[in-house]
Chains A and B, each alone.
Chain A
């Protein structure tokens, strides 16, 4: 039983489910946009202020919106007994986890990237800064998906899963937040930000190598 076969089958299945349950990708997207709306409403709409806080605000909104969708990632399969079956059959959960994470990114990360031009309007970002936003989202949202899948897998059978997931994962998000928002900030001053992008890429590589294994372990122990 190979990882590739199960990866493809799971990915196909998840894409079908994404197409059928539009709320799974529409809701986090709307949440993202609403948070971006809340900030000008909360801190005042002075263009200079908004431009200053924009980098952090965008990334916090992205964090929270991915976190919102995280809890549901494995829960349905856990409740239905699909995970139990996979663990009992010792199916290669690594392929399953990777497919779930990929589909999760397609549902919660990719829409954010596509919607980011809105940010020019909402937060008065320059086009340089927008490019930085897109690049950091491109590198950062897969990292968000990986970490949130880890949180979801760890808290799968916990009693109060949702908020516990956030508590567990938010500290791990902090380096990503720091470097991504710094990149956007530098870009808005017209400065280079290759260093930050390089660090983000490095974090993504490390996470890609280590997180799926941890997710697999976490799924097994929650079902066992």
Chain B
């Protein structure tokens, strides 16, 4: 896939080159190097140990779960797992960094090269695949938080986040449009959530990206890049690419040069600006952290991490298509998020059980109902799947009632609306509201007889060749039956009665 995204400059077309460094908070109870909690939203400086506050003589001890999650993530990205890695100190002074250095991994990261396949169009998931290279994943500490607006002359320091484990997932500069950057982050987030190594919650800051952008004339060498720090939504990432690429093109075309620097994104103004550049910003004096020994992962450790991986989105999508017979689009929609797939699989399993059929026979109807009915309904309610008032078992029950002819399509819609509103079981609704469809031929025949008797003129016209009137009789019959008659039976009996 070659991107055709171009920026129109005064001197012609420009390409944009994008690389992303995604910081993903590793899901863990305690911090990377201390036993303090990682819980979000606590009182300031309460989730802080003496180690996090860098008290004299305090030492880091690594949380094995954080390493395991990084390894699982690497395996999910088909990346090389480095059985020997180690932590380095990245030295700089800032009030959110008590040690005066961040413990990170520069020289020997725990995960090496991997890749992600990204679909650029959900409607055509196979036709628009682009492979984005992963350069590395390393594990490091998060910093604390500075608050600037609480005091006229002071900034306040909260160390609750300080020392929380992050994975920095570094891509190759393989993206060439805002859409590709967005699709990459979406796919990466999806994989992390499948793996369970990061909750992907960008609003709470569990995932944020440093956006590296440069521009060049098609075919030219790479241009000088800028790095816009800590961008915390997919929309903003795309905005950064657009505005930063535009700014660079304008700058170059006006005779200027792009400076390699770190920038900040201002979401209110929708633009990036240079961070007050410090002359020594790039002299981090990395060296191996002598407080920590090299990390040597056993073969079993890696094998266990691998065995613990769930089915990943691409594999799942293929299985839905090939084994369950779903359309490519439906399979893509249902597998995009782990939560959706989990819900769908619950629904399909319950459906199969209730209807006594193989999953492959019920999956299509389940997928259609989930994507068009339930998603539509939840959308109107403004809630996510995980707070759906209808459970997968209830959905399966509804589908079973349709399949066994208890409910007609229109009746099922009616029941669904009530379920959405009340969360009640479909059977209960059918029972209480008397919405059961009837195939009782005697009752239907009696109604038909009455209708034909009351509309003898129309019966004549129909028999005289005005076929269109058949619909009129169906409508009258259904109305008289309060919509509960099995339409197939009605059709049959009407045809018989009308001769």
Same complex: no
